[in-house]
Chains A and B, each alone.
Chain A
Amino acid sequence: MKDHSELSAIFNADEQRVNWHDETLWWIRQKRDKAVKTLPEWELLRENASQIKQHTLSNLSAYLEQFEAKALANGVKVHWAANAAEHNEIVLSILKRNGINRMVKSKSMLTEECHLNTFLENNGIEVIDSDLGERIVQLAKEPPSHIVLPCIHKKKEEIGELFHEHLGTPVGEADPQVLTEAARQDLRNVFLTRRAALTGVNFAVAETGEMVICTNEGNADMGAHLADVHIASMGIEKLVPQRRHLGVFLRLLARSATGQPITTYSSHLRTPRSGQQMHIILVDNGRSQQLGRESFRNSLKCIRCGACMNTCPVYRKSGGHSYQYTISGPIGSILAPNLDMKKHADLPFASTLCGSCTNVCPVKIDIHNQLYQWRQELVSAGYVDAKKKWGMKAMSFLFAHPSLFSWAGKVGRRLMTAAPYLFNNKLNPWYNQREMPSAAKQSFREWYKQRAKNES
């Protein structure tokens, strides 16, 4: 399996495309900056959100039970899934019980995390994603490359080709409005004919048992309102204690995500309409384990706004697919190793630790510190290559011995001057696209010694 570095090198083979990807996401970061700067209380909002989430996570079991009791009283069926497999089985069993083999689904990163679509398709259930971006990557048979903008890696011309093939739009049609209209017409028919709809959940309120789903397209509402069976999948960290807390999070979410003051639809769903079944699946899938990791537990505060991806220069210049995890970018890099350290050992190293992610995070997750911490964990657990390990050991030995360091520095600098080919070659990844720094004739410590001698 290729790692993040290798996949990024492939992504970077087309520099114009990297520029386009980088600029598109930077534009969203700028929209975000503009939007948040209209709120003088922005930093206070972030702090409030962080503390509400900290409090909720510290009392998660109690709030989950409260939420379950309220939801049951509202006439909702509540299911608990310890992992992805249980979640997928629950969805399948609900559909089977109702004799349904076609389902429409709105955006849900959790179902991506659980690989629900593949599972259902293998069990003879057709799933159609109704979020436009998700629909596009579904047609392209690709995973989303961004949690808010799933097809941000695709140019409109490529989407036009895809729609021509699948939705019958004219060859060469790449006008976003025309393409969107084609998808709307196609999806309208889907909404009207599917008896089951699955949605994600952005926030769930413990005191009322309601859930809030935020979309710009209204597709979650279309699905949930028209279907006989509504299934909502949510991670157990999505809770907020009270309704009034939504005022904090709804102001933060869309501004952080896209620079909008609020999502077009922020829908509150509490009770099934007469004759409708409403199911909520509460999914753990590694979350309690992460809650138990002291250094990483506050990653569960994440509200999936994607701001850390848009601001991350590594993400912008490597593309979401290079992360090979449902949630890419900085937040994905601290969530993924929790589920599989070995598989995702490359991700915490796919960062310069610049810290911009931490600064844009609306719930103040110290992402870059956690990346640093994951590096320590991964090395301790042995998920590091031997060459690097020995290199680091040699380096720490050198730095522990000042005279050796001084001597090695002198020899190294002489070699760089006398035999530059030893450094300026293909084996040196620095030299591939960058010149080596020139070796100083005299190190500072040599100069300092000489100055002292001259003065005495």
Chain B
Amino acid sequence: MTVGLFVPCYVDQFYPKAAIATLELLEKLGVKVCFPERQTCCGQPMANSGFAHLTQACDELFTKSFADFDYIVCPSGSCALHLKDHLHSSKHPEKAKQIQLKIYELVEFLVDVLKVQDLEARFPYKVGLHQSCHGLRGLKLAQMSELVAPAFSKPLQLLSMVEELEMVTLSRKDECCGFGGTFCVAEEAVSVKMGKDRVADHIANGATYITGVDLSCLMHMEGILKRQGSEVQIIHIAEILNAS
């Protein structure tokens, strides 16, 4: 099995540690991983702003870079969901469709494809899990609080395998952090307020780390935490699952 690693543009530039942890974790689990160098972005920043028609070149580049892998894994629920829902290639329509079926967010790949039962990881801290909306409600990584349906959580399933890690319970377990792509600058006031309230929930419940499957949300909350001078840190779930 060869996995193509898709590292979202901003993770590549700002959070390489999360991508390195993803790569190392997959390799530790015996997966052959390849990072196609001509990859850039999933196209979501344009599409979510109403410019889906401008993502053609981006889509073609993605299709070309990733068509030949057995699976594509991405340490971001939002980017994975965008590709699953919207990737389109006019040059290679079939290849793009295949990609949509074999692209996975990291956590769902670990749980659903690799069926990971145990991990050698240790993280002796109190951790709050931020349920990023696209991973939660788009990829259904966990049960959504709005529905009348049995509970499950793929991220928690994995985090429960980490030694000495203590999860904190939040008062609003799956509320949006307010990042929302260009929303965070276009609707600055509401975005910041949403972020402040999320962060406050984690802090009030004693978290020293906030983790999640999407660095975009974590980056937003990090910006707020740092401005507040808080010592609470953000950390991508891959870094915890890869921690020893």
Chain A interface residues toward B at CB < 8 A: 4-5, 8-9, 11-12, 15, 18, 22, 26, 33, 36-37, 39-40, 42-43, 311, 313-314, 317-318, 348-356, 358-360, 372, 375-376, 378-380, 384, 388-389, 392-393, 395-402, 405, 409, 412-413, 429-430, 432-440, 442-445, 447-449
Contact = CB atoms under 8 A, between A and B. Distances in A.
Contact of A375 (B48, B134, B223): B48
B185 A430 contact: yes
Question: Does more than half of chain B's interface fall in helix, strand or loop, or is it mixed?
Answer: helix
B77 to A, nearest CB: 12
Nearest to A449: B37
Nearest to A355: B137
B183 A433 contact: no
A349 B58 CA distance: 23
B187 A349 contact: yes
A317 B222 contact: no
A396 B51 contact: yes
Contacts of A376: 47, 50, 52-53
A433 B43 contact: no
A444 B7 contact: yes
Given A358-B137, A402-B61, A39 B14 contact: no
Nearest to A388: B49
B12 interface: yes
Contacts, number: 210
B35 A26 contact: no
B67 interface: no
B192 interface: yes
B114 interface: no
A375 B50 contact: yes
A392 B14 CA distance: 20
Nearest to A371: B48
A174 B226 CA distance: 41
B19 A444 contact: yes
Contacts of A360: 146
B1 interface: no
Nearest to B13: A409
A435 B13 CA distance: 16
Contact of B53 (A33, A36, A380, A435): A380
Given A12-B189, A399-B41, A349 B183 contact: yes
A4 B20 contact: no
B2 interface: no
B232 to A, nearest CB: 13
Given A18-B193, A313-B175, A375 B137 contact: no
A409 to B, nearest CB: 5
B49 A313 contact: no
Contacts of A317: 190, 193-194, 197
B193 A12 contact: yes
B37 A311 contact: no
12 contacts: A5-B189, A9-B189, A12-B193, A349-B186, A352-B179, A398-B40, A434-B195, A435-B222, A444-B16, A445-B7, A447-B16, A448-B23
B189 A434 contact: no
Interface in B1-60: 7, 9, 11-17, 19-20, 23, 35, 37-41, 43, 45-55, 57-58
A435 B186 contact: no
Nearest to B191: A352
B12 A409 contact: yes
Contacts of B134: 353, 355
A166 to B, nearest CB: 33
Nearest to B62: A399
Contacts of A432: 188, 192
Contacts of B12: 409, 443-445
Contacts of A401: 40
Contacts of B192: 432-434
